Amino acid sequence: MRVAIKTFGCRLNQAETAQFEQDFVAAGFQVVAFGDAVDVAVVHGCAVTRKAEKDALRVARGIKRAAHDAGAPEPFVVMVGCVVEANASRTEMDGVDLLVARADKARLVEIVLAQMGQPVAWHGAATAAKHFGRQRALVKVQDGCNFFCAYCIVPHTRGAPVSRTFDDVLAETRALAQAGVQEIVLAGCNVACYCDHGRGLVELVAAIAAQDEVRRIRLSSIEPATVEREIADLMAKDQKICRYLHLPLQSGDAEMLCAMRRRYTPEAYAEVVRHAQRLMPDLGLGTDVITGFPGESDAAFANTRRMIEELPFNNLHVFPYSERPGTDAAKMGASVPPAVRKARANELIQIGVRKRQLFAESFVGRPVETLIEGGWKNGVGRGWTGAYLESCVTGVSQSAVGTIVRFTPQRVVDGVLQGAADS
């Protein structure tokens, strides 16, 4: 049988999808591209915004219709992910045959086969290398969050924090590295909440880095006011850990952070960033910002803009606020007009483009390492550095795809490092 999975949302969803695919392969399925003729179509939905939820629902509703229009048999359609937990109306899921709840995710393939009246037959576990090849692997280390930020539905859809065991994570990362994976990305709903018998994220990262087989480790977003300072200290000491921190700011205004129920002040956030930069002047720094949160005045936005200008951000994810039903923020008054939200977001995005260009230019003439991930053509490969800068490298063979190469950037075009591989 053939199966295809459409994934929306975060790296955690992507990591879970990778596991779904491995389980389907182990059960005898062939995994194909979404849109191909299949027996089973899975939509792994996201509900962090109402738009994301609607996008997943729209795709799910259209699967059977698309198959009919193509003259293909109708597939068995499955919806899994936060959309299922977000209390989306069942009428919005017309055409979906099966909803798989959060508690049943690990048994998704078994449940699908049972619903289709098929025997559950496993053909041996698929190796991670079959899915990821030789380049990057997402490793899920924890799930859930209990921070309850005012704008966020995730604690309701993902539940309380739950961590994988220390030994399980180490065994998986070792197997991935032995299979040739060059970069391991640690993913979770709130990775800073990782804890197994008193050992937290810092201890986990250090133990993974201590494995001889592991080449490079990348961390997903870390919530401020958790373990970011300790992670920066470790990052500065161990070259295996990518020098890139993604610390969601959301707002540079103290009153807005309080209204959002964030756990830090602008001053505390800035001090952590400066601490990390003192240790690592070439640190890549990313953040998330929400513009137009209820009650955001011109003065509050000015505080955010000033903070974005002053701190060494080089990767901005900026989102105009959108009401997410089921959150406390959606019930707040003092709504900011959508046009103002968008205008403020565009202003920050332009600042981010300029700062990213300047950061990339600081690497010109300095040897760097980049993971060639694909797009190879006529001796040119594309990839990403440890500081999360896109690279275009000339003079590489096709065999370099999926490996880390050293090159010296000669120029920067639209934020992309360009240069020739070192001989």
What's the CATH number where 413 sits? 2.40.50
Measured distance CA(157)–CA(105) in Å, rounded: 13
Check whether residue 206 and residue 321 sit in a common domain: yes
Residue 328 sits in the same domain as residue 386: no
Is 314 found in the same domain as 196?
yes
pTM of the model: 0.91
Helix axis angle, 11-26 to 108-115, nearest 10°: 50
The single-letter code of the amino acid at 40 is V
Does 122 fall in a domain? no
Which amino acid is residue 306, in one-letter code? Answer: R
Note the pLDDT of residue 129.
39
Question: What letter does residue 74 receive in the DSSP assignment?
Answer: P
- In three-state secondary structure terms, 372 is strand
Residues 33, 154 within the same domain: no
Joined tokens for residue 113:
């086969």
| Helix, strand, coil percent values for the chain (each to nearest 5) | 40, 25, 35
- Domain endpoint, select from 115, 140, 162: 115
* Inside any domain, residue 34: yes
What is the residue-level pLDDT of the chain in tens, covering all 423 positions?
999 999 999 999 999 999 999 999 999 999 999 999 999 999 999 999 989 999 999 999 999 999 999 999 999 999 999 999 986 566 678 889 999 999 999 999 999 999 998 887 765 554 443 344 458 899 999 999 999 999 999 999 999 999 999 999 999 999 999 999 999 999 999 999 999 999 999 999 999 999 999 999 999 999 999 999 999 999 999 999 999 999 999 999 999 999 999 999 999 999 999 999 999 999 999 999 999 999 999 999 999 999 999 999 999 999 999 999 999 999 998 899 999 999 999 999 999 999 999 999 999 999 999 999 877 888 999 999 999 999 999 999 999 999 999 999 999 999 999 999 997
- Alpha carbon distance 219, 240 (integer Å): 11
90/193 same-domain check: no
CATH at 109: 3.40.50.12160
pLDDT of residue 334: 85
Residue 123 within any structural domain of the chain: no
Q: What is the DSSP string of 100-118?
A: E-GGGGGGHHHHHHHHTT-
- For residues 381 and 395, is the Cβ–Cβ distance under 8 A? no
The domain boundary, picked from 115, 149, 167, lies at: 115
By DSSP bridging, strand 416-421 and strand 195-196 are unpaired
The residue written with tokens 């190469």 in the block is 405
**124 in a structural domain:** no
Structural contact between residues 40 and 75, judged by C-beta atoms closer than 8 angstroms: yes
- Domain-ending residue, one of 342, 361, 380: 361
Tell me, yes or no, whether 120 lies in a domain.
no
Q: Is residue 125 part of a domain?
A: no
The count of structural domains within the chain is 3
Query: Cα–Cα distance between 7 and 364 in angstroms, integer?
Result: 36
Contact yes or no for 355/313 (Cβ under 8 A): yes
389 and 326 in a single domain? The answer is no
Q: Are residues 293 and 342 in the same domain?
A: yes
Q: Which domain holds residue 96?
A: 2-115
Residue 90 DSSP symbol: G
Question: Which positions ≥6 away from 387 have C-beta within 8 Å?
Answer: 242, 243, 244, 282, 283, 284, 314, 359, 363, 368
- For residues 357 and 406, membership in a common domain is answered with no
Same-domain check for residues 95 and 233: no
**End-to-end Cα distance, the chain:** 47
Task: Mark whether 380 and 231 lie in a shared domain.
Answer: no
Helix (H) or strand (E) run with residue 382 in it: strand 380-385
Beta strands across the sheet bearing 315-320? 244-246, 284-291, 315-320
Among all chains, which residue has been given the structure tokens 């000491």? 237
| Co-location of 348 and 204 in the same domain | yes
Q: CB under 8 Å to 319, separation ≥6 — which residues?
A: 288, 289, 290, 291, 345
pLDDT of residue 128: 45
pLDDT of residue 375: 75
Residue linked to tokens 């956030």: 269
Q: Which of 270, 258, 356 is nearest to 306 (CA)?
A: 270
Q: Which residue has the tokens 């803009």?
A: 305
Closest by CA to 313, choosing from 274, 346, 349, 287, is: 287
Residue 58: how many CB atoms within 10 A of its CB?
11
In a domain, 126, yes or no: no
Residues 161, 102: one domain? no
Is 388 within a domain?
Answer: yes
Instruction: Find the CATH number of the domain harbouring 198.
Output: 3.80.30.20
